[in-house]
Structure 1
Amino acid sequence: MTSPDPHPRAHTTGSGDLARSLELLWGLDRKPARGPKPALTLDAIVTTAIAVADAEGLDAVSMRRVAAELGAGTMSLYRYVPGKAELLDLMVDRVNAPGDGAEFPPDVGWRGALEVVARGIWRMYARHPWLLGVDQARPVLGPNSLRALETTLAAIGDAALSDREKMTVLTILDGGYVSGMARTHLNTTHAAQRTGISDEQFWSAQAPILNQAMTSGSYPHLAALDQSAFTADGEADFEFGLKLLLDGLETHIAHHTKHVAGEAKEKDDC
């Protein structure tokens, strides 16, 4: 018996012709400069696909739609990219370019670097919310993605962490924390537009039952909460959580450093 697919309708990187995606990402299929100039470019196709996804979501992206936006025939796009699956690989690598994050100031230190990275990813999701719906369990690594990872690893090089721990920290930062907070923030922000029901209407519909529940004595801790506890502030909440996460990592590094120093002293005493 096979396990059910946890993301049966998810947009997934690496789900197309992987070899072709890699050729396109790394420019391994460049054509000779002879002959008539192509009517389209791969760069224009990727740029247009991203613009459609930014405006209407990834479901709106199709070879037909991108061709229409470019004023070209659908079949002409297939001369440049095999299909939407490979186009998605190119789109993801494009938006992951280091320019979508931020530059690291000199002597930033590992903590400052991770703050820069986290805020850059937060802004990236704000610009490209469709990216939150892409399953990147098997990322197709192009030059932009690798360049972003390379610059990040260089910036956190002073952290007393093993190579495995550094990669785990980056996975937790993006795959766990930033993407989760960004998804919650964007879902909250667009809930009214998506459902046609305002926040006021939504909570007013629940108010009679919730008021009875809060005065019943069955939920004393909830009833005692200040009203401000239920007021979301995406940016402030993100920064608060980021500080907690990095405080914990800093404590771990300090403890590890102290432990290693203690072991070295014991060896010297022997």
Structure 2
Amino acid sequence: MDTPYGNVPLPVWERPEPQPRSAPVPLSRATIATTAIRLADAHGLDGLSVRKLAKELGVGPMRLYDYVVNRSELLDLMVDAVYARIAEAARLPEADWRATVLTIARATREAALDHEWFVDLLGARPHLGPHALAVGESTAAALNQAPGVRDIDDLQRASGALSAYLVGALRREITERRTARSTGTDVSAWQTAHGPYLRRMLDTGRYPTIARLVVDGAHLDAEETFRRNLTTILDGVTES
């Protein structure tokens, strides 16, 4: 492929759609991404392959390579399609920078809960699709208005802290969901079974700080925990 980068193909978002073929099944990158997302939602990334995707679309595997050169590009399209949903939330007018960041973070969490495979691709290589960049721009622009952000170094630190929290929190929540589902564990039953053991250990007096967290701390659901911890991050941005 003749490109400005020699043998390296242009990013998938900058390449034009292939010319339509006289074939019974019309294709587009949007159709491919939507179908791939449906497969990944049902079977995870390990259950997604070009061959399975081609079968789902009713085409031969080689035809997909007109649209994506490899599996990595397919994942790029899928990720950016999820970011499109987050970008919609980011475009809604908010009162201030904090409200904007909270809205984007909530939309990211909702998208991750609907598409669990999405968290497996967070925190790896940068996401550079147009919708991912739009979300990044909205987030950075909002953080740039925080009282504690005075220069580019402050903005980088704030962005890094927020990103690290989002990736860690979402991966933990999704991992807990997957574990409960795969083992058939009921959280309430697990807590009931392990409660007596934990009380005996705390009664030894060797773990006073943990005892305070367990006995006196608030026991929140996943959504409220996410919100409260995110608020702590944003408070730090305000005061830095």
Work out whether residues 35 and 56 of structure 2, in 8 Å CA contact, stay in contact via their aligned partners in 1: yes
Once the two structures are TM-superposed, the CA of residue 53 in structure 1 deviates from its matched residue by: 1.4
What is the aligned residue count? 230
TM normalised by structure 2 equals: 0.79
**Distance in 1 between residues matched to 2:196 and 2:173, nearest whole Å:** 27
Q: How does 1:113-132 map to 2 (within 5 A)?
A: 113-132=100-119
What's the secondary structure of 1:248's corresponding residue? helix
Residue 225 of structure 1, CA deviation: 5.2
2:33 aligned residue? 46
Which among 3, 10, 13 is matched to residue 25 of structure 1?
13
RMSD over aligned Cα atoms: 2.9
Find the aligned partners of 1:100 and 1:170 in 2 and give their Cα distance: 20
| In structure 1, C-alpha distance between the alignment counterparts of 2:212 and 2:235, rounded to whole Å | 29
1:146 to 119, 122, 133: 133
Q: TM-score, normalised by structure 1?
A: 0.71
Counterpart of 2:198, as a letter, is: L
Deviation at 1:177, TM superposition (A): 0.9
> Retained in 2: the 8 A contact 1:125–1:132?
yes
The whole-number CA distance in structure 2 between the counterparts of 1:155 and 1:120 is 15
Give the superposition deviation at 1:185.
2.1
Map of 1:48-127 to 2, 5 A cutoff?
48-97=35-84, 98-99=86-87, 101-105=89-93, 108-127=95-114
Q: Which residue of 1 aligns with 2:22?
A: 36
Please give the secondary structure, in 2, of the residue aligned with 1:169: helix
Q: Deviations over 1:203-261 (max 9, x none)?
A: 45545643432333433444455557484511111111121111121112xxxxxxxxx
Tell whether 2:147 aligns with 1:161. no
CA distance in 1, matches of 2:103, 2:13: 26
Within the candidate set 225, 232, 238, 1:244 is matched to: 232
Q: What per-residue deviation string (whole Å, max 9, x for no partner) do you get for residues 132-172 of structure 1?
A: 11264432512222222233344445344323432432232
Alpha-carbon offset, residue 191 of structure 1: 2.6
SS in 2 for 1:40: coil
| C-alpha distance in 2 between matches for 1:197 and 1:89 | 33
The Cα of 1:87 is off from its aligned counterpart by: 0.7
Q: Given residue 175 of structure 2, which amino acid in structure 1 is its aligned partner? A: N
**Distance in structure 2 (CA, Å) of the matches to 1:23 and 1:165:** 31
Question: Which residue of the other structure, out of 168, 182, 186, is the alignment partner of 1:194?
Answer: 182
- 32 and 211 in structure 1: CA distance in 2 versus 1, 3 angstrom threshold: closer
Identity, in percent, stands at 33
- Cα displacement string for residues 64-109 of structure 1 (whole angstroms, at most 9, x for unaligned residues): 1111221222232222222212211222222222535433425x33
The alignment status of 1:185 with 2:173, answered yes or no, reads: yes
